[in-house]
Amino acid sequence: MDTSRRQFLQTTALGAGVLALGPSLDPLVAAEASEAGPRRFVFVRKSSGIRPQETTLLDFTDREKKLDEEKQPLEIDLHGRELPTWLRGLDDHVEHVTILHGLSAKMSENVHWSFSSVMGCFKSQRNTLSAIKRTTIDFELAKLFPSPFGHVELSFAGGRTGIVDGYSAPAPQTRNYCYADPETARNELFKSVLNPEAVTSDNDMLAFLRSREGLELTGVAGHEKKRQTMHLGSLDAIRARNEKLVTMADALRGHVPELDPVHANGGPSATTPQKQAAMTDVLVAALVSGLTNVVTYTIDDLGTPVTGLPGNETDRVGIHPLGHDEAFGGVPAWKTREQIRISHVNQIRTIVERLKQVPEGKGTMFDNTMILYFPENGETHHGVGRESPFVVVSGRNCRLDVAGRYVRLPAHGVEGHKTLGNWYTTLLHAHGNPVEHYGDLDVEMSRKKFDQTGPIERFLA
């Protein structure tokens, strides 16, 4: 066989992930969950921004409204309060909800797309590989709670199908891969049950490539040798993962999600709500079965066609023109944008309710789970990153003191303001990695000599 490494990486489903699997998978066969059990994180990325006024409470008092509009620090207990219409799907879980305002993301890419940068706090230069400055936050958290897959990325970006480039990064100058339709995600994640012969075949091919790569290493030097060494580590990690999955096959068998036939071959006739529901089924199955503890889900981007949306059932809605206030089917743009967010929240509610049904320790799996819903590009369709609202739904063991609250932090450009980097640093501190600071610093705040490093101490439980 004279298949080259590059040909293999470009033409096989398994190969699509080789370059992206790196250091984060190193501990998968050595480290198991801590005695307290793993923590789980689901990052749900949406496009076209979240306008801060869309995420305010409907029953603000006059004082609260004034403070919020002036972007003054504010904290409100959500119990008994009236959530925005699009968040009503979480009414039954409000004690777990945090509406977080005031974080800035100016060190990230904004405007239309952020690519990897919103997860890594750096400028992405429109998805240039060399611009990927660091391991993204989701992979950093995955290192703290190892699992067979380490990290799973799902995406409905651009209407793609199959295994495609992702937006997360397992290492600098390294782009992840993602599953772009429910059928592919199901078949790849549960391959050891659905197609065990393919797992064996994959391992044979990986062994072959491992031997070839070992020979080729003698002829390279410098940066290329470093990359080759990393690729070798990735091959070994995939083999180890496959071997582990084979031993897990019987346990996984009861968790394989059933998909409607409409999702076959990429699901070209499936509506957006159907696709979202099926992807949620796969996402939950991956968490419950223990295949992963961290999922990043790009639920849409500006190129994602939206069909079957309530109110626009017969329309093919474009998110980009919608961001420019173009109406579809006679429905005002703001209303359709709201319906899109409702469809997203429906999936978050499903994740919460499914995980609450699975016992774990003295409670349920949701107790150990945090779901983060946020815009990839800041506060509006053409975001500038002065404000990046987050909606967080977290279980009681999340190790952060934020649940059940509406929180507005000091505004950008003011002493005490917190950035996306502070927020991600907080997540790392709370879950076992006390890094000094995660991400790039904000240039404007640096110019003003404002302190902007470290976690948000107020949030640490």
Q: What is the distance between the alpha carbons of residues 232 and 215, in angstroms, rounded to a whole number? A: 11
Evaluate whether 438 touches 452 at the Cβ level (below 8 Å): no
DSSP 387-414: ---EEEEE-TTSSBS-TTEEEEPPPTTS
Higher pLDDT, 270 or 17: 270
- The answer to whether residue 331 scores a pLDDT higher than 60 is yes
- The answer to whether residue 279 scores a pLDDT higher than 60 is yes
**pTM of the model as a whole:** 0.90
Supply the DSSP symbol for 258.
P
Tell me what the mean pLDDT of segment 132-153 comes to.
97
> Of the segments 19-33, 83-97, 198-212, which one has the largest average pLDDT value?
83-97
Which pLDDT does position 37 carry in this prediction?
Answer: 77
Q: What is the distance between the alpha carbons of residues 46 and 176, in angstroms, rounded to a whole number? A: 18
Domain boundaries, the chain: 1-19+195-254, 31-190+271-459
Which residues lie closer than 8 Å to 418 by C-beta, 6 or more apart? 102, 103, 104, 409, 410, 452, 456
**Pairing relation of β-strands 97-101 and 405-408?**
parallel
Evaluate whether 129 touches 419 at the Cβ level (below 8 Å): no
Which pLDDT does position 213 carry in this prediction?
Answer: 57
Q: What is the distance between the alpha carbons of residues 291 and 188, in angstroms, rounded to a whole number? A: 11
Q: What is the pLDDT of residues 151-198, one digit of tens each?
A: 999 999 999 999 999 999 999 999 999 999 999 999 999 999 999 988
* CA distance to 58, 334, 385, per residue, from 378 (Å): 22, 17, 5
- The answer to whether residue 13 scores a pLDDT higher than 50 is no
Region of 221 (left: φ > 0; alpha: ψ -120 to 50; beta: rest) is beta
Of the options 3.40.50, 1.20.1290, 3.40.720, 2.160.20, the CATH number for the domain spanning 31-190+271-459 = 3.40.720
CB atoms inside a 10 Å sphere around CB 251: 11
Which amino acid appears at position 7 of this protein? Answer: Q
Crossing angle between the packed helical segments 182-189 and 272-288, to the nearest 10 degrees: 20
Q: What is the pLDDT of residues 14-52, one digit of tens each?
A: 333 433 343 333 333 233 344 467 999 999 999 999 999
